[in-house]
Chain A
């Protein structure tokens, strides 16, 4: 029979004081989300209206350049576009027409705002409205901002999904929507679990194409699969939908509690729940136990990156036996992160935002066994003798739900295993 999770801590981190500092933030901007969103939504094109820096970021963001066919591009603003906004709008119309002519397969076009387009106040909402009229019904044009002045890394996905919510058709049906872009294999596993529990109809946002029958209304309930979807959460509530708060589906415990919140809403019996989840729970526990051995009693320090930090700290401390020293997140939303904070025992410093130099000082002083940080910091910290896990890999790898729980643990264990394999020769 399935082993039970440890009881929730008497005192969680939900009421812990949060350290907020202001200084250099070593984070990606929201444009980075395009890297996975353009693959997820297969009939969409993401057109960034920005500078050469935006284009350069997109090709560098994954650490190496990916030269496959991209369904994204950058309309690079030039000196003449800055001179007059009317001209910029007509230039944008011309660029979009050129793009749609070359890519007749595109059904949804996202105009993505950037720092320069925000600063010159280029009204992309107006442009999207105008362009939708021009290219309807074949192409729907939406806009959102992925600019660094407004979004941090995964908030770009949030802004994108939030932009889709107002144009979803209305429905009175009682339906479940699972929100957040997941790798296809993981999404299919999740849909399989929900189906086995007898829950349905289930829709996902973002859908893989514009033709999905996704709709929203007052009888919609939604679960978040990703912890960075604050604006989408608010947009869905504005449409009358109701959120099912739960810890996020990382690890065996997270997945079980997340599914249980939905099962309860849909009146699934405990027997049925056990019947569906017992086997995958056992597998997940076994996989974690095998993968997490190097993590037991090791300390971990999170730099803020994707807002996955709090749920992952919960997973590492409760399921992998790690000790969290600092858990930094770019933003903390109580409605989203509260349930995970409840399960995270008091002790670690919770921090929101960043002054990277001060945080590096704390990290060096704490000498954690494992530091979770961005690509700009990882090699420098390794060179100082700290083991690191690049945070971006957590966003680019299938890590949700039961069957990936062991993979998730091994992502963290690999740097430690590697260090012990390389031994002295690595010095």
Chain B
């Protein structure tokens, strides 16, 4: 049993729904109790879909358990087949139906439907949403894709985008265009937008572009084995990664078309002098592994930030992220427990968080700006405008998104200089954000905080015995809030290293000089 407040991923059948809802002409018959239909609203409300997800739930109730839930499943399956006339059906069970062991796959097989019926085995008590999507897509490809002669022109498949994915809609468009400029056409994009008939002709492509390893890697590996299609290993998020991706595609295809990089503004925006205030900002990065990997590279190499910590919630990628963390000289945080992430951020006191909607909330509570880089998605992650993460436009979008929550150049200096101005104080926050002032932390904020009711934050337990003298404490308060956490932490480290028991104003400035860059 694991006590959970918020979860980064839903159950695996929600992953299967993301595949089914992204596709066309496919129907998902899900053996599930009444109530599991809540998942529909993820798609209709968060993603604003204008159709119901193509899912039929058996919605059994307690009184059905003693009688014939298997019969209920068959009726639901037949009704779905008659009403929606899908080209193929996937069948499976949600967590509760898994316990009653009706075997939806076996039942559907006996019904003699004249379309492919693909059974799904998604262990609800062991695995989660991304696994569900990855496994479902793999099973669909395994059942439907057939070996076929290659297309005459050089083509590829785009693998991994699903419904309810973080910016998948726009990434597809960006990468399709980029490949087109390179002289590569897209054969099939899947699961998003593909029909079962499209899946069948995936074997025609010369290679695969794996956009999202979380949801497409098993399928990509299967195609590599079965159709001899290599797949790209670089996820083109960020300017550097996009260039690497282009080089990878050119190596795979032997095509060497020139790419027009004029619309990549991010590199100049980052080099222009007004961006110098970004230098060395300490960032904490958390999300799904793919987006964290990309964000770490962008943060360090393209924005000039310092990566203070990083981690991911999907354990499937723990090894990759640990290796990455080593490269960046930090410890990886691999957890799906939101409280652990909050504790890590509180201890590290970064100047900015690159995280998910969960970390955005943590940031709000701690008064640390946050930009969202990864799922789990929120209605805000489906903007009306074109807003990819991948390719050159993606790099531009990321630059804008990341700097938006920060207090910018001159304003930052003014806050330093006149921090006792009653209208321009500390708690006012960036002037371009109405009402985003940090929340006071303390007993009064208990309501707004996360689960453990904690006393005042102690950034590092090692420093429990270091006392801030009153003058030093006062001086510390003159430092603007967005660097105060860093100043406190640095000073305490400095004091601890030297075995000091007390922190005076002098200690504060000694430490400042010590850490100056």
Contacts and interface: CB of A to CB of B under 8 A. Distances in A.
Contacts of B128: 52
Contacts of A214: none
Interface string B6-19: 11011101100000
Interface in A55-98: 55-57, 59-61, 63-65, 67-70, 73-79, 81-82, 88, 91-92, 94-95, 98
Interface stretch (B55-63, B225-233, B425-433): B55-63
A150 B378 contact: no
A60 B79 contact: no
Interface string B31-47: 00111111111101110
Interface stretch (A24-32, A192-200, A248-256, A407-415): A24-32
Contacts of A30: 35
Contacts of B51: 380, 383
Size range of the chain B interface in the assembly? 35 or more
Interface stretch (B93-101, B174-182, B383-391): B93-101
A23 interface: yes
Given A63-B45, A67-B358, A79-B125, A150 B50 contact: no
A150 B79 contact: no
Given A52-B124, A68-B447, A116 B62 contact: no
Nearest to B446: A69
A183 to B, nearest CB: 17
Interface stretch (A99-107, A264-272, A321-329, A394-402): A99-107
A120 interface: yes
Contacts of A148: 33-36, 59, 61, 96
B79 to A, nearest CB: 7
Contacts of A120: 99
B336 to A, nearest CB: 10
Interface stretch (B203-211, B278-286, B450-458): B450-458
A225 B333 CA distance: 49
Interface residues of A, number: 67
A376 B35 CA distance: 12
Contacts of B64: 149
B12 to A, nearest CB: 8
Contacts of A78: 1-2, 125-126
B94 to A, nearest CB: 6
Contacts of A119: 65, 96, 99-100
Contact of A377 (B52, B95, B361, B449): B52
A60 B44 CA distance: 12
B45 A103 contact: no
B450 A69 contact: yes
13 contacts: A24-B59, A51-B125, A52-B4, A63-B41, A63-B45, A65-B6, A65-B378, A88-B1, A102-B453, A115-B96, A152-B34, A376-B40, A379-B45
Given A53-B95, A64-B378, A148-B96, 7 more contacts: A24-B37, A29-B34, A52-B10, A67-B6, A105-B453, A119-B100, A378-B45
